[in-house]
Amino acid sequence: MRREWTRHRRNKLPLALVALVGMMLIATVVVHGIQHRALAEAQAHWQQTSDELWASQPDRHPHRVAHYGHVVVRPQPALSFMAPGVTAHVGNYLFLEAHRQNSSSIRAAAVAPATLKLGFPSPVGLLLTFWPLLLIVLGYSAFSHEWESGRLFWLASMGVSAWRLALGKAAVFAGYTLAVLAAVGLTGAFWLGFHGQLDGAALTGLAAQLTVLGGYNGGWIVLILFVSFHSRDSNQSLYRLLALWLLLVVLVPRLAGEVARFQYPTPDRATFETALAEAVHAVGDAHNPNDPYFSDFRAQTLARYGVDSIDALPVNWNGLVMVEGERITSELFQEHFGRITAQFEGQDRCLGWFSWVSPVLAVRQICQTVAGTDRGGSAHFEAAAEAFRFALIQKLNHLHGHEIKRENDRGQKVSARHWRDMALFDYQPPPPQTPDARFLAGGLVWLVLAALMLAGFRRKEVLR
């Protein structure tokens, strides 16, 4: 190890490259931290503005309030600056209104994890893709050059085993990796602390991300040394390693995305909304007095209240229709969106199996899950927002039915105190989630293969 370190220090190029890439990674953390803070401040401003606009509405008809709508914001997860995940694709804002579920997840090309090939440029993305490439540049000739110069035979004659040589060389590259990870971790912790987000959960999540990334790049170090040892010259070693990098980091993730999307296709937003509108129309049309469904609903309502006409109802029939229409729309949306969710889950399963081949898929998904920026985190927010939307609209529909008379329905208003007293959206993020077992297994396969390659040096003899 001492000899390897001395050689790298004398050359100076490896240290310069590591320092340059390290500064680039630190700059990436800083830039993402600044963006994270700016977005958080903008979100807080617009959420407050939306809440104030909602509360400042004058006396008006409840159905107008339902269509006036309300904007809700998903707070940025503390570690989103490390792994933005799907956040950059699905956004953080939702507009809530009557009769419509504005889920940002109904955009297959943007949301499906199958389409997130190399990931959004971020500290995690760079450590997944660029750092292994730098390790290849630094280490492709670690053994092959020694073969060419004959130094390996000289070292072997002095009793130095291939195992000791491999450990020494691996320790140097591991030192570079640990130094960069430490710099990224300290910079990230500083930003979390500076913005008041450095709690136990954030610190644990950051440490988990860096540990996983360290294991991933440790596997690359072993692979680089293994290929270099078994190559007849440095050129062959470099070509082999670049081919492996291209395969594992670029081609397999892209192929996995295409296969997942082909096996589990999802519609675009226009197709989804068209299918949903057709399903709602198939159930019934509240504006058609002869519609079979709402004719039955009217008969059931009259029987429940013991009257023979909607004019004799103690409540506003129009409000009851709004309540029933919202229930139908919401149920059909959940049914149709559930099918899309099942397709997304199928894509996740497909990518999970591919992660056994490409560790990039496994590590990326694990880091996103730890950060709360994976598809599951976005889905949790949208489910909470939809539950809030449905409850809010039904409260307004209840006001329509009980505070507005059917005669001159549209010309009436209710007091603004009703919506001022309504609870506003208060999103509570879920606790840290455990990554999917398939991705954990994919990462474990990578580590086991690396351990087997490293153990193989124990049985290697310096012979040609």
- Segments making up each domain of the chain, as ranges: 2-459
**What tokens appear for 321 in the block?**
């229709």
pLDDT tens sequence for the chain (464 residues): 566 666 666 667 778 888 898 899 999 898 888 888 888 888 889 999 999 999 999 999 999 999 888 899 888 899 988 998 887 777 788 888 888 777 655 444 333 444 444 444 789 999 999 999 999 999 888 877 666 555 665 566 565 677 788 888 899 999 999 999 999 999 999 988 888 888 888 999 999 999 999 999 999 999 999 998 888 788 999 999 999 999 999 999 999 999 999 999 988 888 888 898 899 888 887 666 678 898 899 999 999 999 998 988 999 999 999 999 999 999 999 999 899 999 999 999 999 999 999 999 999 999 999 999 898 888 899 999 999 999 999 999 999 999 989 888 888 999 999 988 888 888 888 888 889 999 999 999 999 999 999 988 876 655 44
Residue 95, beta-bridge partner list = 71
Task: Give the CA count within 13 Å in the CB-facing half-sphere of 82.
Answer: 33
Element (H, E) at 70: strand 70-73
| Cα distance between residue 391 and residue 371, in whole Å | 30
Angle, nearest 10°, between helix axes 123-139 and 234-245? 160
- Which is nearest to 241 in space by CA: 296, 173, 305, 338? 173
| Cα distance between residue 447 and residue 222, in whole Å | 10
| Cα distance between residue 399 and residue 396, in whole Å | 5
Report the relative pairing of strands 70-73 and 93-96 from DSSP bridges.
Answer: antiparallel
pTM of the model: 0.86
